[in-house]
Amino acid sequence: MKNKEKIGLGVVTTVFSIILIACLISVFSQLYTENKEKEEFRQLADIVKEETTETENIRKPNILKVGNFDVENRSEQPMYYTTDYQPHSISELTSMNSGCFGWISITGTNINYPVMHTPDNPQKYLNRNFDGEYSISGVPFLDGRCTSTSTNLIIYGHHMNNGTMFAELCNYTNTSYRDEHKAVVLETKDGVSAYTVFSVLKVKSDDEWYRFTSALTENRYNSMVEYAKEKSIYETGIAPKYDQQILTLSTCYGNNQNDRILVLAVRNQGGKNGTV
């Protein structure tokens, strides 16, 4: 009887060890793949990076004028802040892949990626890399219903375990993080636009905000802005106006597969068409 018990215990231990080893292999394999894909994006960024001189950077400092917004209790003197960004050749990106819409970046974060747009197959890049091959990370992509002139540009990205793609959007639940990373830069063939984060929402995947891409009337626009401000986890004091485009960044949040976090930003009015 004791021998049988020893044999049984040995079998259980062996099975448990095999399962544990398999799990470890799976975890390390995924981490390896995620880091490999991270490096591929870094290489792509280097390939399409546009060289700028210090003089050019001074001439185009990407200034955002907070005074353009309805900021509660702001001083009469408009406030300014600057954000650095690395220009990318959108023409080169689109020549490499015609499905590329542009490039999105937030200084001081890992968010520095191309943005895809394939209206006929909206989620094509959910699990494909920039070259169209299978990928765990995928590539951030613009909602298929949107165009460059849509009222609300909705961009989706994965929440990766290694902190890449849109994982850092979850940090926007902290007001101090938002204050340090309030500027989002979107480069497209039409130019470079700067956006300022005005609301952060925790929602479900079927939230009303996902149905808002275009506002045919000012009342519809204002009602959705009010909706975003009411659901925001904190107040920023910024209320977008009817003629300002909104940029929505969406990713998974929490343990429930239907939970999402939305970081909403409004396009700066300074410069032509809100460009920097």
Q: Give per-residue pLDDT as tens, 112-130.
A: 999 999 999 999 999 999 9
Q: State how far the Cα of 235 lies from the Cα of 170, in Å rounded to an integer.
A: 17
Percent of the chain clearing pLDDT 70 (strictly above): 74
Which region among 22-26, 110-114, 118-122, 168-172 has the lowest average model confidence (pLDDT)?
22-26
Q: Is the pLDDT of residue 98 over 70?
A: yes
User: What pLDDT score does 216 carry?
Assistant: 85
Q: Is the pLDDT of residue 217 over 60?
A: yes
Confidence bin at 8 (pLDDT 50/70/90) = low
User: What pLDDT score does 72 carry?
Assistant: 44
User: What pLDDT score does 70 carry?
Assistant: 42
User: What pLDDT score does 50 carry?
Assistant: 82
The residue-averaged pLDDT of 26-36 equals 65
Percent of the chain clearing pLDDT 90 (strictly above): 66
Hey, is 249 helix, strand or coil?
A: strand
Q: Is the pLDDT of residue 229 over 70?
A: yes
Structure tokens at 208: 């009303």
Confidence bin at 255 (pLDDT 50/70/90) = confident
Confidence bin at 86 (pLDDT 50/70/90) = confident
The residue-averaged pLDDT of 230-249 equals 96
Q: Which residues pair with 202 in a beta bridge?
A: 261
Q: Give pLDDT tens digits for 134-158.
A: 999 999 999 999 999 999 999 999 9
Q: Is the pLDDT of residue 25 over 90?
A: no
| DSSP per position, 149-212 | T-SEEEEE--B-TTS-BTGGGGGGGSHHHHHHS-EEEEEETTEEEEEEEEEEEEEETT-GGGG-
Hey, is 134 helix, strand or coil?
A: strand
Please list, in sequence order, all residues whose beta carbon lies within 8 angstroms of the beta carbon of residue 65, skipping any fewer than 6 positions away.
78, 79, 80, 268, 269, 270
CA-to-CA dists, residue 204 to 36, 107, 252, angstroms? 31, 28, 9
Q: Is the pLDDT of residue 61 over 50?
A: no
Please name each of the domains of the chain with its CATH number. Answer: 44-274 (2.40.260.10)
Q: State how far the Cα of 133 lies from the Cα of 97, in Å rounded to an integer.
A: 12
User: What pLDDT score does 169 carry?
Assistant: 98
The residue-averaged pLDDT of 55-67 equals 39
Position with higher pLDDT, 186 vs 6: 186
